[in-house]
Structure 1
Amino acid sequence: MKNVLLGLAIAVFTLNACKSKTEEKEPMPVKEEQVTIQVQGHRGERGNLPENSIPAFLGALRKGVDVLELDVVISKDKQVVVSHEPYMLPLYMLTPEGDSIPNEEEKKYNLYKMNYAEIKQFDGGSKGNVRFPEQQKMKTYKPLLSEVFDTVAATINKEVLKPVKFNIEIKSVEEEYDIFQPKPEAFVDLVMQIIQDKNMQEHVNVQSFDPAILEVMHQKYSDIELAYLVGENTYAENKKNLTFKPEIYSPYYKLLDSTEVSRIRKDGLQIIPWTVNNPEDIEAVIKLKVDGIITDYPERVIEKLEH
């Protein structure tokens, strides 16, 4: 009997000990879903250096961006020029003589009617940009897309930097066909010729506000990732403008909220808003778990993502 009682006592002790250890264990922490957000330097890093210039692209590259965002237009001699406007914008451009351009004369400097050798003489950095008071002033010019590709590649090799991709916006407006730009098919072919000549197909995506540009890209160059830029209306409304589903939906960031993000996700698109500059806006967009952020201040986004 003593042996039986002793055995029962040992069993109860062991059970209580195991129970105590189980109760002492802390619950397993729930892992947060890891979200990878691309940092895209808008026109290089327009907040700090002259937009769409070689210095701005190299500045953003050295800060560690994932993607360099830029705009392209076409010159009279069919060169693919990196520029946001198809003319010389008085806000930041100076003549070759260093003179300001009167606002009413900006359209007279139509890049589509100027050869690239002439375009390159204009100064895009010495005047600065009053909208970006921190932007460093320096003499610079509108480069060719081919030069940007070559210079970035050479700098990556020389300085052992991480590779980047390019988000190329084809600046196109229907009212300006054959006035400030070629028609969509000719425009797309000129841009793609440079991309193919430099073997950059896997390192670029093409974006545009103009559905006609994206339709041509989709039909003729289906291997290139496409982004639909929008500045108004809902995703449900905007998607009706295309006959196909692009890989990326790129809205003005204020058009996004959690509900809109869910609707876009249901269609399987990446979400890359533009142009997010203020720290509080950057935080809000990060919380939406977007796929990328286009910004004039890449260092601000990088800092938020690292903390």
Structure 2
Amino acid sequence: MAAMLKIGHRGAKGHVTENTLASFKKALALGANAIELDVHVCATGELVVFHDFTVDRLTNRSGEVHQMTLTELKALTITGGHTIPTLDEVLQLLQGKCFINIEMKGRHTAVPLAKLLAHYITEKKYSYTRFIVSSFQYNELEQLHALNPNVALGILTQASIARAMDWALEFSAKAIHPHYSLLTQTNVKRAHDAGYKIYTWTVNEPEDIARVQLYNVDGIISDYPDRL
């Protein structure tokens, strides 16, 4: 079995403000061999790396990410003195350094993401094996699969691994991304037997990490990659 991926959740969220360039650098310094991040489309069409649908929690401003221009988003200072990066900036930082899990968080992300990844694959010789695109959203998964079936997909679920496997079959996905509370030895084996990898989230406590490691998961997403 391949070595388990140590996946930094939004970088090293437990140490540095999430989804920032500094957080991604910190995760790598702490031994992560993979990074998980979230993307939204802003009002001017760029993909920005940010988790929430609004900027309220991490800045002193309020507003929805998709209604703000890139210039407006770049002018914000988020907790810790950081700025919001674009996905292009993050890919430039991480390219070749680790495996990347891109979560399509916002709506209408599939088209610009397919376009950006195509640019990296054709122009910058980015490898399909170095990333996976995940989402909870059926429509985004469906659209990205239609646009580029070569992109590996991961099906996020907080409710049912069986349901996620149904979606995975429909979209020829490579992995199931379940919340760790859903995992059992049996359903992990069932997913593996069906040909899917299991990347589980968000596992922070040592006892929980030890438990899911016993199930031979393929990767663990954690705020503390140094604990993996």
- What SS does structure 2 have at the residue aligned with 1:55? helix
Rg larger for: 1
Name the amino acid aligned to 1:55: A
| Identity rate, percent | 30
Deviation sequence 1:261-292 (CA, Å, 0-9, x none):
12212211001110000000000011110000
Question: 2:134, 2:113 → 1: CA distance?
Answer: 12
Which of these residues, 248, 252, 265, is aligned with residue 192 of structure 2?
Answer: 265
Contact 1:124/1:139 (<8 A) preserved: yes
Work out whether 1:287 is the aligned partner of 2:177: no
Name the amino acid aligned to 2:222: T
- Using the TM superposition, give the Cα deviation of residue 151 of structure 1 relative to its aligned residue in structure 2, in angstroms: 2.5
Contact 1:206/1:227 (<8 A) preserved: yes
- What SS does structure 2 have at the residue aligned with 1:229? strand
Contact 2:21/2:85 (<8 A) preserved: yes
Q: How many pairs are equivalent?
A: 222
- What SS does structure 1 have at the residue aligned with 2:22? helix
> Which residue in 1 is equivalent to 2:131?
204
Normalising by structure 1, what TM-score?
0.68
Which of these residues, 56, 60, 67, is aligned with residue 34 of structure 2?
Answer: 67
- Give runs of aligned pairs for residues 149-164 of structure 1, distance below 5 A: 149-153=91-95, 163-164=97-98
Contact 2:9/2:223 (<8 A) preserved: yes
Question: 2:69, 2:51 → 1: CA distance?
Answer: 17
Which protein, 1 or 2, shows the higher relative CO under an 8 Å CA cutoff with sep ≥ 6?
Answer: 2
CA, structure 1 residues 35+165, in 2 after alignment: closer, same or farther (shift >3 Å)? closer
Question: 1:231, 1:78 → 2: CA distance?
Answer: 29
Work out whether 1:54 is the aligned partner of 2:21: yes
Instruction: Return the structure number with greater strand share.
Output: 2
- What SS does structure 2 have at the residue aligned with 1:45? coil
Contact 1:35/1:289 (<8 A) preserved: no
Work out whether 1:37 is the aligned partner of 2:37: no
- What SS does structure 2 have at the residue aligned with 1:198? helix
> Which residue in 2 is equivalent to 1:165?
99
Deviation sequence 1:22-46 (CA, Å, 0-9, x none):
xxxxxxxxxxxx6621111000010
Name the amino acid aligned to 2:162: A
Question: 1:89, 1:273 → 2: CA distance?
Answer: 27
> Which residue in 2 is equivalent to 1:237?
163
- Using the TM superposition, give the Cα deviation of residue 78 of structure 1 relative to its aligned residue in structure 2, in angstroms: 0.2
Name the amino acid aligned to 2:3: T
Normalising by structure 2, what TM-score?
0.91
- Using the TM superposition, give the Cα deviation of residue 241 of structure 1 relative to its aligned residue in structure 2, in angstroms: 4.2
> Which residue in 2 is equivalent to 1:256?
183
Work out whether 1:118 is the aligned partner of 2:40: no
Question: 1:190, 1:76 → 2: CA distance?
Answer: 12
The RMSD of aligned alpha carbons is 1.7
> Which residue in 2 is equivalent to 1:194?
116
